[in-house]
Structure 1
Amino acid sequence: MSRLVVLAGPTAVGKGTVVRALKKARPEIWVSVSATTRAPRPGEVDGEDYFFVTPEEFDRMIDDRELLEWATVHGTHRYGTPRRPVEERLADDVPCVLEIDLQGARQVRASMPEALFVFLQPPSWDELVRRLVGRGTETEEERERRLRTAREELASASEFDEELVNDDLDTAVAGLAALVDAAR
C-alpha cells in the first residue's frame, strides 16, 4: 500500500503551485481536494481546486466524521480533507498527496503516523512576503494575519520528516515527486 505524503507550509509559499505542477508532470499521483468555507478566488473551480461548502455543510461533515482533518485557518475560514477519497486511493495503492496547513498536518500525524510529512519552505522571509502581497487576493488586515501565522508555521518545520525549499518550481516539484516515489 502506498504511504500518504502530507505537504504543508506557510501561506504563499507556493504549495498550490507546486502541487498543480506535480499533477501535470505526474498524473498518476492523486492529490486530495480539500473542502473549505471560504469563497472561491478568481479562476478556482468547485470540486477541482476545493469543494466550496457552507459553514453548515462543513459542520455536518465534522459531525459525520467525514473529514480526515480540519482546521480554522488564519482565524477565519475552515478547511478540511474528506476522508473517504484518501482511504480509497491508499487502499488501491495509488500514490497520494495531501496539501494542507500545519494544524491539519498535526491531526493527520495523530491518526496516520506512518505518513510522510513534508514541509515546504520559502527561499526567504522577504520572498514569502513578496509572494503574498503579489497575489493581491487578501486585504491588508488578512495579509498581516497570514504573516503572523506564517511565522508560527515556519517555526514548526522541525516537526516534519522532510523539508523542501520552493526557490525554483521545477526543483521543488522534482523533490516532491522523488519523496512520493520513495513513499511507495
Structure 2
Amino acid sequence: MSGHGFHVHGPHDHELEHAAQHEPKGFAGQLAVITAILATVGAFFSYMGGATQANAGLYKNDAAIKKTEASNQWAYYQSKSSKQNLSELALDLSNSEEQKAKYKDKIARYEKEKAEIKEKAEALEAESKHFDELSEGQMHQHHRWAQATTALQVSIAIAAIALLTKRRWMEGATLVIGGIGVVLGALAAAHI
C-alpha cells in the first residue's frame, strides 16, 4: 500500500514481481498454447484410434461370418459326397440296366452339385480371408494411432513439468516428443 510516497509490498505482490522478473518472457503462455494444440491433436488421434479398432472388430466379425458360411457349404459338399458314394455302391450292386442308368444319373447330378458347392465354399473362404486382412490392417493402424496419442500425452506431461520447474529445455523436449507424436499420427493416416 502506498501513502505519502511510501510503498509497502505484501507477500503476494512480491511473488508477482519476482515471477515477472525471473520467468522467461511468455514462457507460461507459450506452454499453454503448445499444450492446447497437443491436446487437440491428441483428441483427434484418440478418436481415430478408437474408430480403427472398431473397424477391425467389424471386419473380424465379417470374416467369422463368412468362415461359418464356408463351413456350412463344406458340410453340404460332404453330404453330397456321401450320397454320391451311396449311389456308386448301389450302381455296383444293381442287376438291371434300368437301375444302373438311374444311379449313373444320380452320380452325375451329385458331381455337378458338388462342383457348384465347392466353388461357393471357396469363394466364401476367400471373402473370409479378405476380411481378416482388412481387420489386421485396421489393427496395425489402430496401434499407430495409439502410439501417436501416447507420445502426445507424454509431451503434455513434460509441458506441465516444464511449467512447474520453469526449465526451458523441457519446453524443447515437449516440442520434440510432440513432433514424434505428430509424425506417428501422419504414419497412421498414411496406413504405414
Structure 1 length normalisation: TM-score?
A: 0.21
Larger radius of gyration: 2
For CA contacts below 8 A with separation 6 or more, give which structure has more relative contact order: 1
More strand by share: 1
More helix by share: 2
Structure 2 length normalisation: TM-score?
A: 0.21
